Structure 1
Amino acid sequence: MSELLKLENQLCHRFYTLSNAFTRAYRPLLKALDITYPQYITLMALWEANNITIAELLERTAIDGGAMTLILKKLSEKQFLTIEKDEHDKRVKRVMLTEEGKSKKHIAQDVPSQMLCKLDGMSHEESLQLRYLLDKLGSCFKADEQR
């Protein structure tokens, strides 16, 4: 068997298992908010910049358009946000947090520090290096998509 085809040599498999582990680690932390991880990402983007277009939200979160439609529907049903047509261009839809959605930010404040506690075997410098390397890897795929 080729060394290239061994599962233990696959970088993508490490990302897959790590992604699943992160999602599982976030689940109990997000339970108090009654949201999923993709909904959390969406809310974080809106807490940074409220009243933005769906296109801007897609760009900020890098979430697939079809998945974002479902996320926005669920968050709207929970009354965390509203979606309205832009007053200048009716083809454009804007996403705005409700008071309920804004209030969830206070509950979410502790989530990042609780996740950092799970990385206790990693130094601050290592976490910065990892973030740099992940961003670099991500830019490789973005460049590949643009070709």
Structure 2
Amino acid sequence: MPDDLLALENQVCFGLAVAARSVIALYRPVLEPLGLTHPQYLVMLALWEREPRTVKDLSETLALEPATLSPLLKRLEATGYIERRRSAADERALEVRLTASGRALRAEAETIPPRIVEQLGLPVAELENLRESLHAIIGAAVRADVRAV
């Protein structure tokens, strides 16, 4: 156990917060030419995996409140990457779909992960282990009934 439980460098929350800000900062100049912010990029990643998706599904997948997600979707729609429509099966559900432009953007986005890995300069295996550890932390927090939003 560390000597001082309250020392900043001993706090998991501090390490996670600084690491998250630092890594997201690496994405900014890479995403800017695509007209995307990091949160918008996450929405696009979810849609490239599967579409259409309801706003509720996107909210759960991205661990974002609908009130946070809604402005992101409006901006993506304004850029022409997505469209939002009421579901034909359930008028209460709002579906989000990629436009042709949004689908085409995927090819450009495929260059992003290798660029970020290169900038970090860490072995891919180390990043994969980190990702698994982060998923374990997320799972533990969910099981503890903590909402990460």
TM, length-normalised to structure 2: 0.90
Question: 2-side partners of 1:126 and 1:112: how far apart?
Answer: 15
Cα deviations across residues 79-104 of structure 1 (Å, max 9, x unaligned)? 11111001121101100111111111
Q: Which amino acid aligns with 1:119?
A: L
Q: Which amino acid aligns with 1:125?
A: A
- Which residue matches 1:133? 133
Question: 2-side partners of 1:73 and 1:6: how far apart?
Answer: 42
Q: Secondary structure at the match of 1:96?
A: strand
Cα deviations across residues 88-125 of structure 1 (Å, max 9, x unaligned)? 211011001111111111111100010111232x3333
CA contact (8 A) 2:117 2:124 kept: no
Long gaps (5+) in structure 2 = none
- Which residue matches 1:69? 70
- Which residue matches 1:123? 123
Over the aligned positions, Cα root-mean-square deviation in angstroms equals 1.5
Q: Which amino acid aligns with 2:128?
A: L
1:107 correspondence with 2:108: yes
- Which residue matches 2:97? 96
Q: How does 1:1-147 map onto structure 2 within 5 Å? A: 3-120=4-121, 122-145=122-145
Identical positions, percent: 28
Long gaps (5+) in structure 1 = none
Q: By how many angstroms is 1:127 displaced?
A: 2.1
User: Number of paired residues?
Assistant: 144
Moved beyond 4 Å, runs of 4+: none
Deviates more, 1:27-36 or 1:56-65: 56-65
TM, length-normalised to structure 1: 0.91
